[in-house]
């Protein structure tokens, strides 16, 4: 099982890691239209979960293969949830760097390659909106340290965002330069049953 399939299995609960994929023939038509071969990690995402709303559209929006376009040598594949910016990658590389493009024609290079960037976005999709049940957690830094080392798997630590995973739920927050929690700690759950199991333990306040 590839790492991406494993992540999709974790997040969706799918026993096979498949979650409403797009047909290979559609990707081949897209590559023919663009005149470029898409990176394998992006093709794998489309094949496994290209039609899965939770992973592909619940917060930021991945472009469908038919919507992919090349702008100034970069293929645009992801739109920010408020349409304030987009993300793209330079054509011709197997695992290219990712660039953020703003409406002011400014371009910023992310510190992640495409494979790691896609994994980050999938977890973030579920944390922000993909998982239906979400609450703010009143957890001390001391308790957080204990929980994160005994119950949770760290999956994302990047640019002020920290995410931990365990079955059917995510614990996440934004951190400052000194790695202290910036504001609240959030708990997101895929099912109501899992959410209810943690209300008292984490003193959850529903959002």
Q: How do residues 61-76 score in pLDDT, each as one tens digit?
A: 999 999 999 988 899 9
pLDDT tens-digit series, residues 81-120: 998 999 999 998 899 999 999 877 788 999 999 999 999 9
CA 92 to chain centre: 24
> What are the residue ranges spanned by the domains of the chain?
3-125, 132-206
What pTM value is reported for the model? 0.94
Q: Is residue 176 pLDDT above 90, yes or no?
A: no
Per the prediction, the chain carries an average pLDDT of: 92
Q: Which tokens is 148 given?
A: 């994160």
Task: Report the SS3 class of residue 189.
Answer: strand
DSSP character string of 80-146: -TTSSEEEEEETT-SS-EEEEEETTS-EEEEEEEHHHHHHHHHHHHIIIIISSEEEEE---HHHHHH
* Percentage of the chain lying above the pLDDT 90 cut: 75
Q: How many Cβ atoms sit within 10 Å of the Cβ of residue 108?
A: 11
Region 23-45: mean pLDDT is 95
Alpha carbon distances (Å) from 192 to 17, 51, 53: 22, 24, 19
Q: Is residue 16 pLDDT above 80, yes or no?
A: no
Question: CATH: 3.40.1580.10, 3.40.30.10, 3.30.565.10, 1.10.580.10. Which one for 3-125?
Answer: 3.40.1580.10
Q: Is residue 182 pLDDT above 80, yes or no?
A: no
Give backbone dihedrals phi and psi of 97, rounded to 5 degrees, phi first: -70, 155
Task: State which H helix or E strand residue 57 sits in.
Answer: none
Give CATH for domain 132-206. Answer: 3.30.310
């Amino acid at each position: 099982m590839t790492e991406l399939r494993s992540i999709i299995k974790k997040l969706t609960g799918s026993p096979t890691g498949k979650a409403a994929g797009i047909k290979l023939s559609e990707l081949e038509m897209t590559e023919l239209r663009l005149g470029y071969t898409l990176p394998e990690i992006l093709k794998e995402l489309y094949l496994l979960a290209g039609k899965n709303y939770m992973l592909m559209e619940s917060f930021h929006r991945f472009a469908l293969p038919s919507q992919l376009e090349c702008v100034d040598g970069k293929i645009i594949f992801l739109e920010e949830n408020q349409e304030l910016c987009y993300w793209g990658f330079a054509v011709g590389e197997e695992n290219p760097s990712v660039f953020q493009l703003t409406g002011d024609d400014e371009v910023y290079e992310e510190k992640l390659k495409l494979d790691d960037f896609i994994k980050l976005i999938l977890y973030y999709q579920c944390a922000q909106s993909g998982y239906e049940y979400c609450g703010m957690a009143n957890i001390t830094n001391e308790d957080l340290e204990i929980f994160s080392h005994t119950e949770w798997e760290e999956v994302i630590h990047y640019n002020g965002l920290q995410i931990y995973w365990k079955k059917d739920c995510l614990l996440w927050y934004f951190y400052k330069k000194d790695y202290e929690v910036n504001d609240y700690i959030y708990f997101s759950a895929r099912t109501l049953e899992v959410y209810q199991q943690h209300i008292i333990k984490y003193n959850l306040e529903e959002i």
